């Protein structure tokens, strides 16, 4: 009978494979640790930059709020209010002076049908600076009045045309139908 004898002082263990596996796992763990560390530093820097920017924006907002408060208090000053009222009044006068009555009547005449006549014209300035024209119109018939309104709408000089009121005259009068028409006149 044969007995196998191992004359080695220690049993055979595949150390090379073990060291290779442990080394490979160590490299992977080191790479993962470095990746997580780099990402953590990047996030930390980004958050720090964001917090710094937020502090700057809050300081700017605070400064602007103080500036706004200062300017509003200056606007509430009676002397400033008087100057603003005078400025509004003068601007209103300048806008009214810019109205060319000749041009307005010429533009109305171009759009006026033969059986319609203008009885009164009342221009006024709106808050947005546009010229509002109130027209009192007389016509032989409702159809002639409709033709006048359509002619105004087709032109480029009048917009926001609205028929405010309309009435029929009783008896034999030259103006069987009278109407109040409102329009915005577009000046050049």
pLDDT of res. 171:
61
Res 1: pLDDT? 66
The pLDDT averaged over each successive group of 10 residues in the chain (188 residues) is 66 78 94 95 91 94 94 86 86 71 83 85 78 86 86 85 81 74 81
Tell me what pLDDT residue 6 has.
62
What is the 3-class SS of the chain, one letter each residue?
Answer: CCCCCCCCCCCCCCHHHHHHHHHHHHHHHHHHHHHHHHHHHHHHHHHHHHHHHHHHHHHHHHHHHHHHHHHHHHHCCHHHHHHHHHHHHHHHHHHHHCCCHHHHHHHHHHHCCCCEEEEEEEEEECCCCCEEEEEEEEECCHHHHHHHHHHHHHCCCEEEEEEEEEEECCCCCCCCEEEEEEEEECCC
pTM confidence score = 0.48
Annotate 125-143 with b (16+ C-beta within 10 A) or e (fewer). eeeeebbebebebbbbeee
What is the model's pLDDT at position 20?
Answer: 92
């Amino acid at each position: 009978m044969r007995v196998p004898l191992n004359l080695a002082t220690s049993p055979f263990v595949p150390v090379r494979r073990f060291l290779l596996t442990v080394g490979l796992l160590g490299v992977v763990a080191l790479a993962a640790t470095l990746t997580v560390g780099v990402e953590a530093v990047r996030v930390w820097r980004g958050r720090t930059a964001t917090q710094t920017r937020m502090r700057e924006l809050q300081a700017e907002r605070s400064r602007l709020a103080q500036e706004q408060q200062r300017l509003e208090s200056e606007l509430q000053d009676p002397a400033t209010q008087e100057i603003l009222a005078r400025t509004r009044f003068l601007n209103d006068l300048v806008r009214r002076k810019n109205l060319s009555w000749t041009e307005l009547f010429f533009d109305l005449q171009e759009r006026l049908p033969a059986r319609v006549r203008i009885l009164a014209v009342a221009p006024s300035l709106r808050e947005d600076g546009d010229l509002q024209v109130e027209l009192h119109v007389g016509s032989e018939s409702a159809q002639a009045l409709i033709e006048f309104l359509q002619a105004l709408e087709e032109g480029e000089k009048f917009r926001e045309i609205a028929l405010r009121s309309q009435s029929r005259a009783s008896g034999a009068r030259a103006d069987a139908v009278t109407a109040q028409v409102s329009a915005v006149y577009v000046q050049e």
